[in-house]
Amino acid sequence: MGTIKVALAEDNTLLREGISRIIDAVDDLELVGQASDLPELFALIEKESPDVVVTDIRMPPTGTDEGIRAASWLREHRPEVGVVVLSQYKARVCCLVSNSVDSVQMAMGVASQAEDSINLCLAQSTPSGVRYAP
């Protein structure tokens, strides 16, 4: 597999810059753009067609569930795209994946590059909500 194109969405500037530096430091990853809110993320996805989206769970405009909504939209419209959903509000980071095996592998690869000891959980976006794996 060649270089993995990553789109990053995070409203906290300091955290966004830190994550972007981590992504930039990995040879197999290419940061194709950054967004600070949901509309910017959708525009970035349309423009760059990333392999993986790393997104905050809560971003503007409402600060509630924009990352989950983006992951659900990607599952429906672009299931080949892996999604890593980050949250500062939980003890662990969730890797929200689509139904594509390739997107699962790409998302897990990106997440594992961020921190070897990161506590990950797998989840799948379904029409009835989000299903978490143990």
pTM of the model: 0.70
Which pLDDT score, from 0 to 100, does residue 104 have?
Answer: 52
How many Å is the Cα radius of gyration of the chain? 13
Which pLDDT score, from 0 to 100, does residue 120 have?
Answer: 46
Q: Divide the 134 residues of the chain into consecutive groups of 10 and give the mean pLDDT of each group.
A: 90 91 91 97 97 91 89 90 76 48 55 47 48 46
Q: Residues 58, 62, 65, 70: is their CA dihedral positive or negative?
A: negative
Spatial strand order of the sheet with 4-9 comes to: 29-35, 4-9, 52-56, 82-86, 93-97, 120-126, 129-132
Which pLDDT score, from 0 to 100, does residue 87 have?
Answer: 73
Which pLDDT score, from 0 to 100, does residue 111 have?
Answer: 56
Which of 59, 52, 58, 62 minimizes the C-alpha distance to 110?
52
Which pLDDT score, from 0 to 100, does residue 73 have?
Answer: 92
Which pLDDT score, from 0 to 100, does residue 75 have?
Answer: 87
Which pLDDT score, from 0 to 100, does residue 17 have?
Answer: 93
Query: Please, where are the H alpha helices in 4-133?
Result: 13-24, 38-48, 66-77, 101-114
Give the class (CATH, top level) of 4-132. alpha beta
